[in-house]
Amino acid sequence: MEFQNTREFARQLDANDKLAKYRDEFIFPHVNGKQVIYFTGNSLGLQPKRTKAYVDEVMDDWGKLAVEGHFYADKPWWDYHERFAAPLSKIVGALPSEVTVMNTLTVNLHLMMVTFYQPTQKRFKIICEEKAFPSDQYMIKSQVKFHGYDPEDAIVEIKRRPGEHNIRHEDVINTIKEVGDELALVLMGGVNYYTGQVFDIKAITKAGQDAGAYVGWDLAHGAGNIHLELHEWDVDFAAWCSYKYMNSGPGNASGAFVHERHHNDMDLPRFAGWWGHNKERRFLMEPQFDPIRGANGWQVSCLPVLSLAPYLASVEMFDEVGMPALIQKRDLITSYLEYVLHEIDKEVNGNFEVITPSEPKERASQISVYLHGEGRSLFDYLMENGVITDWREPNVIRLAPVPLYCSFEDMYEFGQILKAGIQSHK
């Protein structure tokens, strides 16, 4: 499609957008009395209007029923999480038994590593990407030390080549081959939080498993954003947070995936708790742990139902929309944003560089822009003028044109504000 950097053209794209009506489902902050242009749905998604009713329902049941709510609420609390199995499994491409909701993301990755990182003298190395999200780096290092290994020996980071912003796929595959029979685990972010680069999860999973390792994915920026087929791709495990693209509220419950082939393997170590115990016999309070045969068997504690309520509202919305429609709009609006950026750069010599891959297969709902010029003060100008982006050192703003609630006109309008900002800084 030939794009144009005009309001009329952007409005035309909005008029043809089948998801446009979902914009009204969200609550937008205001700056100077004007609804903001929100680009930080990859950090904290906006609040859907329907969410409050889900939370109120739990609050009301708690008031009316107290402890009886566990079994007699309209949506009983004791198996509230099972409502996620069908819709959430579609979002990540899993069987319903392969997904669960519990804890928060880093905690879930720790629990998964208890199971899937079993280093031996010979096979003890972990491959991850250079500059992974800090929580992942801390987590991996602490697990390695916990097992008595030195992170310097055990952690192999895949690096960017000098002068390049993204990691090359062939470098991932070659590193896996090189580490070979010393490789215990590959654990990477499916979408890099900084550049928005999307990795080839299927091919990397296969390469890691061919080397004899387990392969797991941190899908913090993947769930609700990219096409996933975790079951078909044979991924061993994955976990994600729900507060970024999945709009379930600050710090909210995470989701996890464990491939079906591990469900009956009772030799795999895991940290157990009563919520992972055989559901039919849970309340018999027996001493012997008998795990649920499914991802739910990795649960530990009874569930934070008040946190799950907004997550359920969100998952049901995603189920209505469907990932294919979401991805279709995502690609168009991301390309349009990229186009607008280049047009503004040409008009006012903005001196910025898009560091997200230009190949649509290697990116999703994010454009990261490296500001060679004004930097931080331009970011502040955008915020003051109602464009919410985020700033990452040394000089990067990240823009997530989230397809559920961003409009094409937002992209055009953003371009105009950016242009005025650059001009006022010259």
Ligand X SMILES: *Cc1c(COP(=O)(O)O)cnc(C)c1O
Q: Which is nearer to ligand X, 136 or 374 (CB)?
A: 136
Residue 149 touching ligand X (CB under 6 A): no
Residue 41 touching ligand X (CB under 6 A): no
Q: What is the DSSP letter of 272?
A: -
Residue 135 touching ligand X (CB under 6 A): yes
Phi/psi region, residue 289 (left: phi>0; alpha: psi -120 to 50; beta: rest), is beta
Q: Which is nearer to ligand X, 258 or 378 (CB)?
A: 258
- DSSP alpha helix (H) spans, 192-284: 201-210
* 106 labelled binding-site residue: yes
Q: Tell me the closest approach of the beta carbon of residue 114 to ligand X, in angstroms.
A: 16
CB atoms within 10 A of CB 354: 20
Burial environment of residue 32 by CB neighbours within 10 A (0 to 12, 13 to 18, 19 or more): exposed
Q: Tell me the closest approach of the beta carbon of residue 221 to ligand X, in angstroms.
A: 5
Residue 105 touching ligand X (CB under 6 A): yes
Q: Which distant-in-sequence residues (6+ apart) come within 8 Å of 47 by Cβ?
A: 26, 27, 247, 249
308-347 footprint of ligand X as x/- string (CB under 6 A): ----------------------------------------
Residue 218 touching ligand X (CB under 6 A): yes
* 88 labelled binding-site residue: no
Q: Helix, strand, coil shares of the chain as percentages rounded to 5?
A: 45, 15, 40
Region near ligand X per CB under 6 A, out of 133-141, 207-215, 343-351, 384-392: 133-141
Q: Tell me the closest approach of the beta carbon of residue 43 to ligand X, in angstroms.
A: 8
Quick one: which of 144, 220, 303, 369 contacts ligand X (CB under 6 A)? 220
Residue 236 touching ligand X (CB under 6 A): no
Most distant CA pair in the chain, distance: 72
Which 3 state secondary structure label does DSSP give 13?
helix
* 274 labelled binding-site residue: yes
**Strands ordered across the beta sheet of 125-129:** 99-102, 254-258, 237-240, 214-218, 183-189, 125-129, 155-158
65-104 footprint of ligand X as x/- string (CB under 6 A): ---------------------------------------x
Asked whether 419 and 262 are in contact (CB, 8 A), the reply is: no
The binding site for ligand X (CB under 6 A) comprises: 104-106, 133, 135-136, 189, 193, 218, 220-221, 241
Annotated binding site: 105-106, 133-136, 218, 221, 243, 274
